[in-house]
A and B are shown apart, each in its own frame.
Chain A
Amino acid sequence: MAEYAFRKINIDALEEDVLLPSDLYDPDPRGPDGVLSDAQAKSTEVRNLISRGDIPGALNAILTDPPYGEGVDEAKNLTKNALLLILNSTRASEIPAILKSLGQEQQDHLMAYIYKGMAAIGQGSDVTGSVLLNWHSQLTEVAGVGCIVRVMTDRRTL
């Protein structure tokens, strides 16, 4: 059995220039309060758009400047719930056309939310796995595996 205890030593403990999580991305310029009020406004807007049947508009609105980073959990939750509501109320046949109308940045954000939705299954989330998997497969076809890689790499967690 090889000696491996040394691998658990925190070699950065005595280092001054340690890389911090906050060095890895720029904070949201809107600030936590601005992000929250933005998320609330968008959540209401999305509900209105869904009731009028404008799914592409709703998805477009919610995927523009979503909240990211630390200290904005409430805004993140609001956005996630609004987004899952959109995913649930879309007919499967409409998905490809909707996805193609999104910008590349929005497709990346949507992929992140799909994974977030998958993580929430079984924790009181009202979205089912088959809905998410269907969106995931359709999105991968349109945006490619590069989209998944970007979600995994991005430190600005949604």
Chain B
Amino acid sequence: MSAPEVFQLSLGPLTGIAFSPDRSQVCVCPNSNEARIYTRNGDSWDLTDTLAEHDKLITAIAWGPNTNRIVTCSQDRNAYVWTQTEQGWKPALVILKINRAATSVKWSPAENKFAVGSGSRVIAICSFDEENNWWTARQIKKPLRSTVLSLDWHPNNYLVAAGTADGKVYVYSGYIKGLEAKPEANIWGDKLPTGHLLAEFRSPNGGWVHDVAFSPSGDALAFVAHDSSINIIYASGPNEPPAAHIVVKLPSLPFTSLTWTSESSIVAAGHDCQPILFSGSHEGWAISRSLDDPSSTAKPLTPTATGARAGGVGRLGNNEAFNMFKAADSKGQRGTPQPGATPTSAGLTPVGSDGLLLTVHQNTITHVEAYEWNQSGEVSKIFTAGRDGRLVVWSVTGGKGLTGRMAGLQV
């Protein structure tokens, strides 16, 4: 397994991140009202452009792989579509008609429209209006009762899934009349007028939904919620209950983002600071391994999310300061104790004796997305970005077989 590539793009959190189609550029928001475009230069990234039009924090960025357009959305209730010209990137206005912050944005697979989620309890499906030279929105309102935190498009370009702050996941029709051909019936529904609700699911313990994602085929939907659960739903047919709703409850802290790497595997990451690979099928899902592989580093890194172990308790259990006070209390010893060996309880992020996490990311991971695909169409590399300002590219396949090294096809 090749070691992950690590880039420190910012000292603060990265609130939005998107790669250019050829992966030579990356657009990130360093927790501010500006998006920055960096160009890859060997092992470093050079700042080439700054997209400054928003007045408040940018919450999400999406870069269309086919049309090479960037869309940014922000807490200032606006979104802009950026097009590359000879004079640099030019913004186009989007008429969102929302009165709270925009939280998430995703291009549809055909890139003729995009969806924006917001705190004003609507999903805006936006398409280009030739007459006025701006983007207009059609809003989906019912039955949303809370902030839409995450969105994902079905590969057929018509359906959109949304995860909300009240712990629900909805599947809607995002069809826009006059823009595209009438959709055909599919496994999620047969009647598809704009904004029609096709399915609704709830997180097992009522945790708010951090991220949703359709599988590559679109027949399954996965989401991660704040009750430390990952849910996978298999659709069975229009107006039918799902064939399976699989819940995996974790011993670790909640995940905030996930991405499918194939029809039978998912990578999820979050407050635990390490990406975890899951695999499964209709019958059930389970943790496969952590991508933050202990054998590839010299440090005794232990992906504790994979199971229980005996020892002390709490996040402090392996912390130097904690151990020092503990030794002073129980044995009357002063000075530095032995560096904590391995993390202790189930689901804990390992902490080194220097106080740094033994994981590559030093804070919550907020984005997981596909980076590179192999010939068979499966994801071979993913990237993660987090509150520590780091961008990390991980190899998903690899391990023992040749598949990892054969990855060269870019989509």
Contact = CB atoms under 8 A, between A and B. Distances in A.
Interface of A: 17-19, 23-26, 104, 108, 137, 140-147, 149-150, 153-156
Contact of A23 (B121, B166, B251, B254): B166
Interface string B116-156: 00000100000000000000000000011110000000000
Given A149-B254, A153-B227, A142 B346 contact: yes
A58 B226 CA distance: 31
A141 B227 contact: no
A131 B166 CA distance: 35
Contacts of B344: 141
B228 A154 contact: no
A108 B227 CA distance: 11
B308 A108 contact: no
A91 B152 CA distance: 51
Contact of B249 (A23, A25, A140, A146): A146
Contact of A145 (B145, B226, B252): B252
B252 A24 contact: no
A149 B348 CA distance: 13
B410 interface: no
Which of B143, B314, B315 has the most chain A CB atoms inside 10 A of its CB?
B314
Interface residues of B, number: 35
A156 B229 CA distance: 16
A60 B253 CA distance: 26
Nearest to A147: B251
Nearest to A26: B202
Contact of B345 (A17, A144, A149, A155): A144
Contacts of A25: 206
B253 A149 contact: yes
Q: Could you tell me the dominant secondary structure of chain B's interface residues?
A: loop
B347 A145 contact: yes
A156 B202 CA distance: 13
30 contacts: A17-B144, A17-B145, A19-B166, A23-B166, A24-B206, A25-B206, A26-B202, A104-B249, A108-B249, A137-B313, A137-B314, A141-B346, A142-B346, A144-B346, A144-B348, A145-B228, A145-B253, A145-B345, A145-B348, A146-B254, A149-B207, A149-B226, A149-B253, A149-B254, A150-B205, A153-B205, A153-B208, A153-B226, A154-B205, A156-B206
A71 B315 CA distance: 37
B249 A142 contact: no
B311 interface: yes
A108 B315 CA distance: 19
A48 to B, nearest CB: 31
Given A24-B166, A137-B313, A143 B253 contact: no
A25 B207 CA distance: 11
A96 to B, nearest CB: 9
Interface in B223-241: 225-229
A17 B346 CA distance: 41
Contacts of A19: 145-146, 166
A150 B208 CA distance: 11
A99 B347 CA distance: 16
A137 B121 CA distance: 40
Contacts of B251: 143-147
Interface in B56-77: none
A145 B249 contact: no
Interface in B188-218: 202, 205-208
Nearest to B271: A149
A108 B205 CA distance: 10
Contacts of A140: 313-314, 345-346
A139 to B, nearest CB: 10
B103 to A, nearest CB: 16
Contacts of A145: 228, 251-253, 315, 345-348
B245 to A, nearest CB: 14
B310 interface: yes
A149 B255 CA distance: 11
Contacts of B225: 153
A143 B251 CA distance: 6
B167 interface: yes
A153 B207 contact: yes
Contacts of A154: 205-207, 227
B250 interface: yes
Interface in B302-348: 308-311, 313-315, 344-348
B25 to A, nearest CB: 37
B206 A149 contact: no
Interface string B64-102: 000000000000000000000000000000000000000
B312 to A, nearest CB: 8
B206 A141 contact: no
A141 B345 contact: yes
Nearest to A133: B313
